[in-house]
DNA sequence: CGCCTGCTGACAAAATTTGGCACTAGTGCT
DNA sequence: AGCACTAGTGCCAAATTTTGTCAGCAGGCG
């Protein structure tokens, strides 16, 4: 790779990380020596990029340096289309529509020859497996999450017991067969996941919960990691009970 | 002046002129030889700049090298984030990276307060199931699809027989455990799907296939519908042989 | 045709880029 | 204070890129 293109790549790399990145890591990603990386950073700074480097911390790109080109590559466009197709097929209807709308808006500001290929992108998503449908509207749940609102749930757990609890919802997990509402449960004083198809009903309490969504998300991830039963380990128990049978291929 | 900075200057120069400029003049302004200018132009084009040059006229930078400001709703942004997360986790690495890059580029042209929520979006994708990894680089396959290039495959089918065939690839299907390359097989004179993990090797033949990708895709869909064994019915035979065992949840 | 332009290939000289090494220095954690 | 981690600089020889020149091809236009 030539230096000229690498500088642009470096800029994009910095843009992508919203938190400080160590030079060593950037060097690894670009496949250059650390020494060269320092030189590249200096070159970008000399051209006006606002890159801040602190010893012991790493580099951050302060927003505002947009002179360099900013256009989606063919591959990036394909990636967006594929992601949108998945959302349209596997997430809830409202979100799927939102994904389509977003893509349309993006296409509208793209050069014509690029937006032409949107439809014919040859990347396909396997159709959804049969799913436990939720009785409730996930769009509203998402609104509650966004607004950091406490909700009260009437929930039937795996044993069939129905309880009513107040929950601070901060995430929604999309699995193959079910969706999980993840939140802090005031009843249990702990993080809990709720299968959306088992939520019988829910209400906004009107109260805002006293933490930031991002903080809860972070705490939850740390909690899961500590438990060694984390999101990454994808404990099947969370969603594989009551298995759904795969119907035979349609024959008509 | 170093070449890296000069390329940006050249871009800026082109942006300023709204009417065709002769290469000779650009070369004079940048104080380089004409030959070098041609090389610089080529370098920029290789990076995606839409510079048009016509003999007897000059160069024009077609608009579209920069993303104009864009407005997305909160929900649309969330949908894009969710889709990107899925692509990053479930598609191949290069595509995942492209998805991330696309998202940050879009975020860069969004109103500031909006792009802040990117990281903390509370929509999560279930982690990937164990997968049959492909030995081949799917990024290159995607390039071939994009360019409508014939490829020759060495493929080991489900029975273990290895064959060599020329295929017109037009789509890539992402399933939970496998990816399928979908194309027209010259050997069988029919549409065929190839599990990418069973493709031992492949080569570009250099030939372009005589149909449009979009047309093949459409014909294939119709064909599948007619067969009543279509994509929608997701015939498990296509990908569920040689099942992958789900590992027990990590316990350490 | 001549004249303007874009564009490519080859080649050798010139300039830049690169990686490794040694060294300084700031930050944060224990 | 000690330690681990990080940014940043100077130096140098080797590797690589960049550059100009020259030569030639192609396409539009008068």
- Chain A residues near residue B102 by CB distance under 8 angstroms: 72, 76-77, 79-80
Is residue A190 in some structural domain?
A: yes
Q: Is the minimum CB–CB distance between B113 and chain A shorter than 8 Å?
A: no
Give dist(CA A150, CA A145) in Å, integer: 9
Q: Are residues B165 and B216 in the same domain?
A: yes
SS3 B196: helix
Q: Is the pLDDT of residue A106 over 90?
A: yes
Q: Are residues A144 and A234 in the same domain?
A: yes
Comparison of pLDDT for A117 and A37, the residue scoring more: A37
- Chain A residues near residue B5 by CB distance under 8 angstroms: 43, 46-47
Q: Is the minimum CB–CB distance between A106 and chain B shorter than 8 Å?
A: yes
Q: Is the pLDDT of residue B243 over 70?
A: no
Is residue B251 in some structural domain?
A: no
Say which of A43, A145, A176 has its CB closest to residue B176: A176
Specify the pLDDT at position B231.
46
Last residue of a domain, one of B96, B128, B160: B128
Q: Determine the structural domain holding residue A88 and report its residue range.
A: 74-118
Is residue A185 in some structural domain?
A: yes
Q: Is the pLDDT of residue A248 over 50?
A: no
Q: Is the minimum CB–CB distance between B73 and chain A shorter than 8 Å?
A: yes
Q: Is the pLDDT of residue A251 over 60?
A: no
Mean pLDDT across the stretch A105-123? 88
Report if CB A124 to strand D is under 7 Å. no
Q: Is the pLDDT of residue A150 over 60?
A: yes
Residue (of A149, A150, A155) closest to A136 by Cα position:
A155
Instruction: Say which residues have a Cβ less than 8 Å from residue A161's Cβ, sequence separation at least 6.
Output: none
Q: Are residues B89 and B31 in the same domain?
A: no
Q: Are residues B142 and B222 in the same domain?
A: yes
The percent of residues in chain B predicted with pLDDT above 90, rounded, is 51
Q: How many CB atoms lie within 10 A of CB B74?
A: 14
Mean pLDDT across the stretch B24-48? 91
The percent of residues in chain B predicted with pLDDT above 70, rounded, is 90
Question: Do A251 and B146 meet the contact criterion of CB atoms below 8 Å apart?
Answer: no
State the pLDDT confidence band at B244, using cuts at 50, 70 and 90.
Answer: very low
Q: Are residues A150 and A229 in the same domain?
A: yes
Domain count of the fold of chain B:
3
State the pLDDT confidence band at A252, using cuts at 50, 70 and 90.
Answer: very low
Q: Are residues A53 and A85 in the same domain?
A: no
Q: Are residues A53 and A95 in the same domain?
A: no
| DSSP state for residue B189 in the 8-state scheme | T
Q: What is the mean pLDDT of chain B?
A: 85
Q: Are residues B97 and B150 in the same domain?
A: no
- For B236, name the nearest residue in chain A, comparing CA atoms only: A249
Cβ–Cβ below 8 Å for A79 and B71:
no
Is residue B250 in some structural domain?
A: no
Cβ–Cβ below 8 Å for B123 and A70:
no
Last residue of a domain, one of B101, B128, B155: B128
Q: Are residues B155 and B216 in the same domain?
A: yes
Q: Which helix (H) or strand (E) holds B183?
A: strand B179-185
Q: What pLDDT digit, counting tens, does each position of B153-203 carry?
A: 999 998 999 999 999 999 999 998 899 999 999 999 999 999 999 999 999
Q: What pLDDT digit, counting tens, does each position of A152-203 carry?
A: 999 998 898 999 999 999 999 999 889 999 999 999 999 999 999 999 999 9
**CATH number of residue A27's parent domain:** 1.10.10.10
Is residue B246 in some structural domain?
A: no
Q: Which helix (H) or strand (E) holds B13?
A: helix B3-16
Q: Is the pLDDT of residue A249 over 70?
A: no
Is residue B244 in some structural domain?
A: no
Q: Are residues A101 and A150 in the same domain?
A: no
| DSSP state for residue B118 in the 8-state scheme | T
- Chain A residues near residue B66 by CB distance under 8 angstroms: 69-71
Q: Which nucleotide is nearest to A33 (CA to C1')?
A: C19
Is residue B124 in some structural domain?
A: yes
**CATH number of residue A205's parent domain:** 2.30.30
Q: What is the mean pLDDT of chain A?
A: 85
State the pLDDT confidence band at A227, using cuts at 50, 70 and 90.
Answer: low
Last residue of a domain, one of B110, B128, B146: B128
Is residue B249 in some structural domain?
A: no
Q: Residue A242 CA to nucleotide C24 C1', Å? A: 64
Q: What pLDDT digit, counting tens, does each position of A189-215 carry?
A: 999 999 999 999 999 999 999 988 888
pTM, whole model, 2 decimals? Answer: 0.84
Report if CB B59 to strand C is under 7 Å. yes
Cβ–Cβ below 8 Å for B74 and A146:
yes
Q: What ipTM was reported for this prediction?
A: 0.83
Q: Are residues B105 and B183 in the same domain?
A: no
Q: Are residues B12 and B52 in the same domain?
A: yes
């Amino acid at each position: 790779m030539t230096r000229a293109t690498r500088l642009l790549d470096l800029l994009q790399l910095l843009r992508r990380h919203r938190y400080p990145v160590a030079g060593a890591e950037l060097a690894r990603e670009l496949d250059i020596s650390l020494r060269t990386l320092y030189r590249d950073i200096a070159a970008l700074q000399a051209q006006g990029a606002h890159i801040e480097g602190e010893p012991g911390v790493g580099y951050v790109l302060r927003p505002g340096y947009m002179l360099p080109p900013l256009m989606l590559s063919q591959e990036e466009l394909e990636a967006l289309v594929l992601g949108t197709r998945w959302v349209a097929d596997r997430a809830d209807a409202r979100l799927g529509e939102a994904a389509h709308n977003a893509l349309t808006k993006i296409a509208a500001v793209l050069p014509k020859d690029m937006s032409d290929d949107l439809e014919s992108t040859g990347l396909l998503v396997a159709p959804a497996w049969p799913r436990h449908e939720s009785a409730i509207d996930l769009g509203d749940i998402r609104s509650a999450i966004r607004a950091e609102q406490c909700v009260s749930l009437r929930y039937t757990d795996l044993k069939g017991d129905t309880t009513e609890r107040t929950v601070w919802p901060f995430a929604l997990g999309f699995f193959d067969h079910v969706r999980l509402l993840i939140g802090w449960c005031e009843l249990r004083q702990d993080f809990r996941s709720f299968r959306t198809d088992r939520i019988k009903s829910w209400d906004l309490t009107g109260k805002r919960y006293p933490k930031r969504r991002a903080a809860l998300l972070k705490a939850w991830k740390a909690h899961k990691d500590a438990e060694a039963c984390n999101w990454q380990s994808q404990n099947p128990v969370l969603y594989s009970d009551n298995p759904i049978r795969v119907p035979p291929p349609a024959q008509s």
